[in-house]
Structure 1
Amino acid sequence: MSASSPYGPAMEREIWKIYQEFFDLAERRRRWNMRLDIPWDQCNPNTSHAIADVVESFCAVELFLPDYVGKFLPLVRGTRGRAWFAANWGYEESKHSMVMQEWLVKSGHRTEEQIEEVQSWAVIGEWELPTDDVRGLACYTMSQELATWLHYRNLRLLVGESDPALSKLLMLVATDERAHYDFYVKILKLHLADDRAGTIEQLKRVLNGFAMPATHLLADSRRRVAAVKSLNIFNEDNFYAEVYQPILLALGIDKQEMRNRAAVRKSIVTP
C-alpha cells in the first residue's frame, strides 16, 4: 500500500475499473444538455410557492460545492478512480444547481437579483468533511446520494404533469444522483470484502447520525427544513424505508450485523 493511497494495488485497479464503467455509461446514456433537453417553454408560473421554496433550498445547498469537492479531493487524491469520480461528480452537481436556478427564473418564481441574493447569503459558513476516514466518507456519500435521489424523486411525484419543465429536470437530476449512489455501492462492496467489520462500523455511524450536507449552514435553515417536511418529501419514515433498508439490501448486510437499529436517528435533517 503506497503512502499516498489508502488502498492496495489490487483494490486500486478495481476502483479504477468501476469508475471507467461509471463514466462510459454516463457518456452513452446519461449526459444531458441544460439548454436543449428541458422544455423551458412549458415552465408553469403557477407552480406552488412551497415547491419553489424547496427548489431554491436545493440550489442553496449546492452552493457549497467548492467545499464538497475541495475537502473531498485531498482525502482521495492518491486513488485515481475516486479522485476522477470526485471531479466528475463536481461537474454534474454544478449542472444540478444551474438547472434549478434556471427554472426558478424562467418560471417567474425568482428574479436574477433574488438568485444573486441567495448566492450571497447561503454560504455563511464553511462546510467540513463529516469524517477523514476513506471508508466512512464512502459510506456517507453513498447514503447522501440515495437520500438526495429520494428528495428529487418525491418532489417530482408531487409536481406531476403540472410543470413539464420542472418534472423533466427533476428526472434528469434524480437519475444522476442514482448513478452516483450506484458507484458508491460498488466501492463499499470492495471495502466490505477487505474489512467487513470495520466497514459496517463506519456505516453504522453514518446511518445512525445521518444528516443532509450543509443544511445547518443555510440562512433561515429552520424554515427550509420545515418546508421540505411539510411537503412530505423526506422524513424519518421514508429515510428508514427508502435509504437505510435499501442500502443494507444492496450491500448484502444483515440487520443483525448493524445492531442497535433503534438508534437510527429520529431527527433527520433535510435541506
Structure 2
Amino acid sequence: MADILPPNLLQERPRTPAGLLSNAEKDRLIERGFLGLYRWYTARSQETRNWNADRSFDWRHLRKDLPPEVVTVMQGFFAVEQYAPDFTSQLVHLVRRSHGRSHFQLRWGSEEEKHADAWENAVLFSEQRSPEWIAEYKERLRSQTWELPFPDAIHNLVYTVFQERATQLNYLNMMKIAQGKSEKPHLAGVSDPVLAKVAQTIAVDEAAHYNFFLEGVRMYLYYYPERTLDAIKNVIGQFSMPAASLVPDWQEFSETVYRAGIYGPRDFQRDVMQVAFRNLGIESRKALEEGIRKTREVPDFEGQNARTTAIFDTFDYGQIEGDVRRLHVKIQDYEQEIGFDKLDPTEFIENPEVPRQGGQAADD
C-alpha cells in the first residue's frame, strides 16, 4: 500500500490503524491504572500493615541457641535487604516521570527498609553475631552498589514480580522452620515464636508487593501483549535473586538455604515461575517461547502498529482482561469513597486489538 501512495499523502497517513489505541493512549491508560493502584495500595498498607521493626516483636525473647544454619539464613536475609536504598533509588529514577509508579517505589522502599531493620534485629538478638561484627559487615555490604538487572522499565517490572514471589517464598519457609514444621532432620524441633512472627510479617509485605507488581504486568500484558511476553521470556531466562553478586558469603548462604528446604531451583520452577505464570494466564515456559516464535512469523501491518493475532494464543487473554477490569473496579470503588470519581475518575478502556468471537468480550 505504501508503495503506491502519492508522496504528498505519505505524511497524512495515520500512524495507528483505524479503531486501535495509539501507543500514547495505551501509555496514558496504564499510567492512570498505576496511579489508582498506588492510592489504593497506600491506604491499605497504612491501615493493615503499619508495623515497626523495633516495637512489633518481643526481641528479648528471641532464642539465643538457634542452630547456626538458621542464623546464617537470617544473616543472608539481612544482607540482601541492606541494599534497599539502592533498590529504591534506582527504580525511582527509572520511573520518576510516572506519578503512580515512582511514588509507589518510595512506599515500597520504606517497607523494604523495615525488612532490613527487622532482620538486623534478628541477627543481633540471636547473640551469635556481635554488634561490632554486624557494623563491619554492613560496611562491607554498603561499600558496593546494586545496579538494575535490566535497562528498561518493563523488564524491571516483570523482574520484580518473580523476585517478590521468590522472596515471599523464602520468608514463608523460614516461618515454617521457626514454627517447628521443618521436614529436615537437622532442623527438626526448632521452634521460635518471635522468629516465626518476624518471617510471617515480612512475608505478608512481600505478598502485597508481588500483587502490586503483578497488577502492573497485567496492565502491560493487556495493552502490549507481545512486548510484555517477550520481557517475561527474557527475565526468566536470566533470573537471579538480587545482590547475589554483592553479598560476600553468598555461596554459603544459598547452600544453607537449599539444605534447609527454604529455596532452590525446584522451588523457583514450581512455586515461583509456575505461580506467576498461572496468575498471568500463561500455561508454561515452553508455551510462552513457542507462542513468541509463532508471533514473529506473522507479517505485520505494513510496518505500522502490527495487529498480530498469533500472540493471543500464547496466553489466556480473557483471564487478563478480567483481571484488569477487576483492578479498575477496585480503583473506582476507592475513588468513589474519596471523591475522585467526581473530579478525575479512572476509566477502563477496552483494547480493541484482541480478536473477538461472536462479538463477545474476552472475559464473557
TM over 0.5: yes
Contact 1:124 / 1:218 at 8 angstroms: preserved in 2? no
Match of 1:78 in 2: 97
For normalisation by structure 2, the TM-score amounts to 0.67
For residue 254 of structure 2, the aligned residue among 199, 207, 225 is 225
Contact 2:71 / 2:126 at 8 angstroms: preserved in 1? no
Match of 1:142 in 2: 161
Contact 1:67 / 1:126 at 8 angstroms: preserved in 2? yes
Relative to 1, partners in 2 of residues 1:128 and 1:34: Cα closer, same or farther, differing over 3 Å? closer
Does residue 126 of the first structure (1) align with residue 156 of the second (2)? no
Displacement after TM superposition at 1:98 (Å): 0.6
Contact 1:15 / 1:81 at 8 angstroms: preserved in 2? yes
Does residue 12 of the first structure (1) align with residue 28 of the second (2)? no
Letter in 1 for 2:132: E
Displacement after TM superposition at 1:106 (Å): 1.6
Displacement after TM superposition at 1:7 (Å): 6.6
Displacement after TM superposition at 1:56 (Å): 0.7
Does residue 247 of the first structure (1) align with residue 276 of the second (2)? yes
**For 1:163-191, what per-residue CA distance to the aligned partner results, in whole angstroms no more than 9, with x for missing partners?**
11111111110000110000011001100
For normalisation by structure 1, the TM-score amounts to 0.90
What percentage of residue pairs aligned between the two structures are identical? Answer: 29
For residue 171 of structure 2, the aligned residue among 148, 152, 159 is 152
Match of 2:74 in 1: 55
Displacement after TM superposition at 1:131 (Å): 0.9
Q: Structure 2: state its 5+ residue gaps.
A: 1-23, 181-190, 292-364
Contact 1:140 / 1:206 at 8 angstroms: preserved in 2? yes
Give the 4+ runs in structure 1 shifted more than 4 A: none
Displacement after TM superposition at 1:85 (Å): 1.0
Hey, what's the Cα distance between the residues in 1 that align with 2:25 and 2:280? 21
Match of 2:289 in 1: 259
Question: How many pairs are equivalent?
Answer: 257
* Structure richer in helix, relative to its length: 1
Hey, what's the Cα distance between the residues in 2 that align with 1:82 and 1:6? 17
Displacement after TM superposition at 1:146 (Å): 0.4
> Rg larger in 1 or in 2?
2
For residue 65 of structure 1, the aligned residue among 84, 87, 93 is 84
Contact 2:52 / 2:114 at 8 angstroms: preserved in 1? no
Match of 1:209 in 2: 238
SS of 1:219's equivalent in the other structure is: coil
Contact 2:73 / 2:256 at 8 angstroms: preserved in 1? yes
Contact 2:53 / 2:115 at 8 angstroms: preserved in 1? no
SS of 1:222's equivalent in the other structure is: helix
Hey, what's the Cα distance between the residues in 1 that align with 2:98 and 2:68? 44
Contact 1:52 / 1:109 at 8 angstroms: preserved in 2? yes
Contact 1:44 / 1:163 at 8 angstroms: preserved in 2? yes
Relative to 1, partners in 2 of residues 1:47 and 1:22: Cα closer, same or farther, differing over 3 Å? same
SS of 2:36's equivalent in the other structure is: helix
Aligned CA RMSD, in angstroms, stands at 1.9
Contact 2:59 / 2:125 at 8 angstroms: preserved in 1? yes
Displacement after TM superposition at 1:138 (Å): 0.6
Match of 1:264 in 2: none
Match of 1:34 in 2: 53
Hey, what's the Cα distance between the residues in 1 that align with 2:142 and 2:28? 39
Displacement after TM superposition at 1:124 (Å): 4.6
Displacement after TM superposition at 1:100 (Å): 1.1
Q: Structure 1: state its 5+ residue gaps.
A: 262-271
Hey, what's the Cα distance between the residues in 2 that align with 1:6 and 1:47? 55
Contact 2:170 / 2:262 at 8 angstroms: preserved in 1? yes
